[in-house]
Each structure stands twice: as structure tokens, then as C-alpha cells.
A = this chain, B = another copy of it.
């Protein structure tokens, strides 16, 4: 009766999925409310009615639970890279398309909102930011392996690695703008930002320094829209 139906996650697996999601949601809520450091795992676990030991069977670290949404995106990116067909196109374009496609696949309810909370947290929680960057770094290395495997790039050629790093950098730019500045919200808003960031990439090479402006050290812009700390 269930031989070929894809709708058969066993009861056990459904429960696991539910506790996992409960941990993520509760964590993001408490972290946002009381701060990351201000929340102990004991509190969180008591809230979800799960032992601390169990928490660490779902997530490797306290930071990990808050970064699940972003990790989903990168997983989709890697999956896309495995199959995407290059038609003699520039590598950079291929990578950009792959990331946009991955983003397009993030259709889970409330995904964008979770990413938003997660990023805002990371912004003022050093250890979260650090772990996020480390995850990106590992993902990048995996992606390079996929590229070398599929297309036979020379491991000593630095260009694929650099191209990938540029795409990641553009993503971070987009993410930061989307997280902290006004503009279209939701996943599609992020996609717009991402496209804009990609457009800025060629300017990396050509951009020149405006002019040798020599100003007094402490002078500030009259109407700078953001405060710097």
C-alpha cells in the first residue's frame, strides 16, 4: 500500500522532524528575545521538553541550531552544482545561476523569516558569526571538489576558487543589505539583492579610487543614512 508512495516517513522520523523544528523555532525565539548568551541550553531544552543530551543528538553546537536555515540553502546550492549543465558559459555565471536556483528552491514556510532572525543574531554574537563563516568555508571547499570532479579543473588553478569566493562574498553583501536595510522582504527580496550584487562584480576589477581627497580626520558625512559604531 505504500510501496512507491513518497509519503511514508515513518512515525519515528516524523517525530524527529517535529522536535528538530521545535528546537530551531524555540531557539530563534528565545535567542532573539533574551540574546544568544542570555539563553542557556537548559532553558531551551526545558521549553521544548527535551533533555540537553538529546539536543546534542540533533545539533552539534549551540550555534548550530540557529543556523539551520542558511545551511539548507547551501545544501541546495551544492546539489544544484552536481547536475547543472555548463554550455560553454563563463564559470562565474554558472555559479551565480546555481545560487539563484538554490535560493529559488527555499520554499519552506517561514524560511526567509528564520534566516532574517538568524542573521540579526549573528551580527551581534561573535561565536555565531564565526561558525557561520566556517560553514561557508567548508561548503566552498566541497563545491570546489565538485567542480574539479565534474569539469576536471586543475587543482592548482586558483581561478575557480576565487570565482566561488566572489560569489559567496556577493551573497554576503546581499544578505547583509537585505537583513539590515529597507527594501523588499522575503525570499524574493533577497533574490533581487543577490542579482544586484552579482551585477557589481565586474566593477571589482575596474573601479578606481574616486580622487585623492584629503580631509580632516574627524570629518563626517552630513547626511549619512547609517550610524557607525
Q: Which residues of A contact B (CB under 8 A)?
A: 85-92, 94, 126, 129-131, 133-134, 137, 145, 149-153, 155-163, 165-166, 169-170, 172-173, 177, 196-197, 200-213, 215, 221, 224-226, 228
Contact = CB atoms under 8 A, between A and B. Distances in A.
A173 B159 CA distance: 10
Given A130-B130, A166-B166, A173-B162, A205 B201 contact: yes
Copies of this protein in the assembly total 2
A94 to B, nearest CB: 6
Contact of A169 (B162, B206, B207): B162
A158 B88 contact: no
B91 A208 contact: yes
A228 to B, nearest CB: 6
Contact of A155 (B155, B202, B208, B224): B224
Contact of A210 (B153, B165, B166, B204): B153
Contact of A90 (B131, B155, B206): B206
A89 B206 CA distance: 10
A96 B221 CA distance: 27
8 contacts: A86-B212, A90-B208, A91-B208, A149-B228, A151-B213, A158-B170, A161-B173, A166-B166
A170 B169 CA distance: 13
Given A130-B131, A166-B169, A169-B169, A159 B204 contact: yes
A89 B196 contact: no
Contacts of A226: 155
A163 B200 CA distance: 10
